[in-house]
A and B are shown apart, each in its own frame.
Chain A
Amino acid sequence: MNHMTGTTTTTSLISIDGVSRRFGDVTALDSVSLDIRQGEFFALLGPSGCGKTTLLRILAGFEEPDTGSVRLDGADLLAVPAHRRPVNLMFQSYALFPHMSVEKNVAYGLEREKLPREEIRKRVSEVLETVGLAAHARRRPHQLSGGQRQRVALARAIVKRPRLLLLDEPLSALDKKVRAEMQLELKRLQHEVGITFVVVTHDQEEAMSLADRIAVMQGGRVEQLDAPVALYDRPRTPFVADFIGANNLFPGTVTAKGLEAGGLGVLPAPADLAADFPVGARALLAVRPERVRLGAGELRGTVVDVSFYGGTSHVALSVPGHEGHVLVATQGPARVETGAEVQLGWNAADASLIPVSERGDRSV
C-alpha cells in the first residue's frame, strides 16, 4: 500500500497546528504543531507529565485545546463530537467496562457500528486470538491480571480498525516475550490494514524499533520530530541529546577547530555544521558512548568503573575539567582496568553540535 508507492506516505492524515492546553497554571501543551502522515507509525516519547496523554485526548475529543487547530484529511476535527471521530484511543488506565465480560468489552465498539451479529462474533474471536486471550473471553476484567487487562484494552481499540489508532502506553504491563509478539502485531496492522498509529511509550527501544517517526516532547512542547536514526544521531536540543539513549555532553564555545570546552581544551566537532554555528557561539557537543575510542585522543582520564554486559562493556572515566563521568561503550570485554590512566577521543564526524539557547535553559 502506502509504503510501496512511496509518494503517498507524505500525505498528512492529521495536522496539528499551534495547539495549547492549560490546566490552571500547568501548561500541559504549549503550542504544539505536527503532522501525522497517512499510514505511518508515529511515536510520542517524553518524560512523565510532558503532555502526551493530553495530546491524545485532544485527538480523541475528550479535551479541547485552548488555542490551535486539528485537521483530519483537511477537515476540522475539533468540530466533530468524540463519538463520531474515526479515531480509537486505548486508555493509559485501560478504562475497561467492569460490568462486561472480555468479549462484550471488545464487541462494544462493533455493536455501535450495527454490524451483523455473525461478523461481530467472528472479529471479536479473531482479535482475542491475536492478543492471546481467546480462553478468557467470558471473564470479567477484575478476574484478569494487569497484563491481560492491557491486552483486552488493546484488542478493544484495534478491533474497530479505525483510520487513526491512539495507543497510550499500550504494552507497558507486558513481559518481554508477549510484548515482542504484540509489537509485531501492531506492525502487521499498520502494513496490512493501513491503520495510522500514534503510540505513547516510555520505552525508547520500542519507539526506535517500531516508529517511522518520533516526536520527543518535554514540558508541553515538541523538542524534536525525526526518524529514529536521525533522532539518535543528530539530536537538536540539549534535552533530546540527554533523553534519548546515553550521551556524553560537553558545553563550550565554537571555534574554527572544534569546540572550546573550558578546561578540556578544544574537542573534535563536525566541521560541516560550521554554517549553523558561527565562531564564538555557545554550543553543546554530544558524543555517544559507542563512538568514544579508548587509547588515543585529545582527552586523558582515569577509569573509575568497568562493567561487562556480555556483548558490550561500559567504561566510566573521570576526566579532569569535566563534570560527571565520560561513558564509553566497547565491543566485548573492556581492555582497561579500574584505576588505569587512558587517553580517549572520537572522530569529529561522530560527534554532534547542539545549539544552546540564549535563555540558557540547558535543562539537561
Chain B
Amino acid sequence: MTSPPVVRKAVARVVTLGPGFGFLTVFLLVPLALVLSYTVFRRGRFGGIVYQPTGENFTRLADPLYLDVVAGSVKIAALTTVLALLLGYPTAYMIARLPGRWRVIALVAVVLPFWTNFLIRTYAWIVLLNSQGPVNSALKALGLGPVELLYTDGAIVAGLLYAYLPLMILPLYSAIERLDPQLREASANLGARPARTFWSVTLPLSLPGVLTGCVFVFVPSLGNFVIPELLGGGRRIMVGNLIRDQFLKARDYPFGSVLALAVIAVLVLLLFAQAWASRRAGRDAS
C-alpha cells in the first residue's frame, strides 16, 4: 500500500502544481509559441499565414515609420512612469506613516477605481477634458481658455497615469512600510537632517519598490491601445495600436507577431533588470 517517499513527493507535486501549470501551458505557452512561429513566415494575401520561411518581418521593424511609433510610445510610457513615480512616492510614503486604521482606508481608496469599468473611467476623462468640459469651462471663466486638452499626448499621459498610478503606489508602499524605522532614527542620531536621511537611507532602501512600480507602470502603458485611441483621438499611434491593427485590420499576422515579440522582449529585459536590482537590494536589507 505505502509507496516510497519519492513517489509520494512526485504525486504531491503533480497534484499541487499540475492544474496551474496545465492552465498556463494551454492558455499562455501555446499562443506564445504560435506567435513566435508566425514571425518567420510570410503573410497570406488575404490574411493568414503562408508557410514559406522569411526574415523580412524582422527587417521591416527597422523601417523609420515603425521606429517612430516605438520611440513615441517609449517616450509617452516613460513620461507616464516618471510622473507616476513623482506622484506615487510621496503618497506611498505618507500612507506608510499613517496609523494602522487610516492606512487600510487609504490603501482601499487607492485601489477603489479598479472596481469600476476601465472604459467607463476613460470616457469620464473625455467628458472632463473636452472643449465644453468642466476643466475648459473653468479655464474660460478665468480667462485662460479654452485650451485643446483632449486628443493630445498630454491627455494620453493623463489617462495612462490615472489608470496605472495605483500600480506604482502599491509596491512603493510595501517597500517603504517594510523599512525598519530605527534606520531613520539611527541616521538622525548620527546628525543627518530629515532630507539627508531620505536620500541616504529611505530612498536607497526602497529602490526595489521603485523598480517594481516603474515596471508595473511602464509595461502596460507601452502596450495600451485603448487610451491612445479614446483620449488621443487616434492621432498618436502607439505600439499597442500598431499590434492591434496588424492583427485586426491589416491582417498581417507575421509582422504583428514580430511587434508583439519585440514588446515582450523589452518586458522580459526590464523584469530581469528589476529582479537583479531587487535581489541586490534585498540581500543588503536582510
Chain B residues whose C-beta falls within 8 Å of the C-beta of A95 in the assembled complex: 180, 182-183, 185-186
Which stretch (B163-171, B251-259, B278-286) binds chain A? B278-286
- Does B204 contact A112, Cβ atoms closer than 8 Å? no
Query: Do the beta carbons of A97 and B183 come within 8 Å of each other?
Result: yes
Q: Are A98 and B186 in contact (CB under 8 A)?
A: no
18 contacts between A and B (CB under 8 A): A60-B189, A62-B188, A62-B189, A83-B188, A83-B192, A83-B194, A88-B190, A91-B182, A93-B182, A98-B284, A98-B285, A99-B205, A99-B281, A108-B190, A112-B190, A140-B284, A142-B284, A160-B191
Is residue B45 within 8 Å, beta carbon to beta carbon, of the partner chain?
Answer: no
List 4 tightest A-B contacts by C-beta distance, closest first: A109-B190, A112-B191, A95-B182, A95-B186
Q: Is B131 an interface residue (CB 8 A)?
A: no
User: Is A82 an interface residue, CB under 8 A from the partner?
Assistant: yes
The residues in A between 16 and 60 inclusive whose CB is less than 8 angstroms from any CB of B are 60
- State whether A91 touches B193 (Cβ < 8 A): no
A156 is an interface residue with CB less than 8 A from chain B: yes
Sample of 11 more A-B contacts, CB < 8 Å, known A61-B189, A93-B180, A99-B284: A62-B188, A85-B189, A89-B189, A91-B182, A91-B185, A97-B200, A98-B205, A99-B281, A108-B192, A112-B192, A142-B284
Contact B191 A62 (CB under 8 A): no
Contact of A108 with B187 in the complex, beta carbons under 8 Å:
yes
Docked complex Cα distance between A84 and B193 (Å)? 8
A361 within 8 A of B: no
Whether a CB of chain B sits under 8 angstroms from the CB of A192 is: no
Nearest-CB distance from A317 to chain B (Å)?
49
Contact status B204-A99, CB under 8 Å:
yes
Interface size on A, residues (CB 8 A): 26
Residues of A whose CB lies within 8 Å of any CB of B are 60-62, 81-85, 87-89, 91, 93, 95-99, 108-109, 112-113, 140, 142, 156, 160
Q: List residues of chain A with CB within 8 A of the CB of B192.
A: 83, 108, 112
Interface residues of B in 6-25 (CB under 8 A from A): none
| CB nearest to B192 among chain A residues | A112
**Known interface pairs A142-B284, A142-B286. Does A97 touch B186 (Cβ–Cβ under 8 Å)?**
yes
Cα separation A82 to B182 with both chains bound (whole Å): 13
The yes or no answer to B201 lying at the interface (CB within 8 A) is yes
Verify B283–A142 contact, CB threshold 8 A: yes
Is the C-beta of B196 less than 8 angstroms from some C-beta in chain A? yes
Q: How far is the CB of A148 from chain B (nearest CB, A)?
A: 16
Distance between Cα atoms of A207 and B153 in the complex (Å): 70
* B284 partner residues in chain A, CB cutoff 8 A: 98-99, 140, 142
Q: Which of A82, A108, A142 contacts B185 (CB 8 A)?
A: A82
Among residues 154 to 213 in chain B, which have CB atoms less than 8 Å away from a CB atom of chain A? 180, 182-183, 185-194, 196-197, 200-201, 204-205
Query: B190: which A residues are within 8 A, CB to CB?
Result: 88, 108-109, 112, 156, 160
How many Å from the CB of B217 to the closest CB on chain A?
24
Q: Are A97 and B191 in contact (CB under 8 A)?
A: no
Chain B residues in 8 Å Cβ range of A156: 190
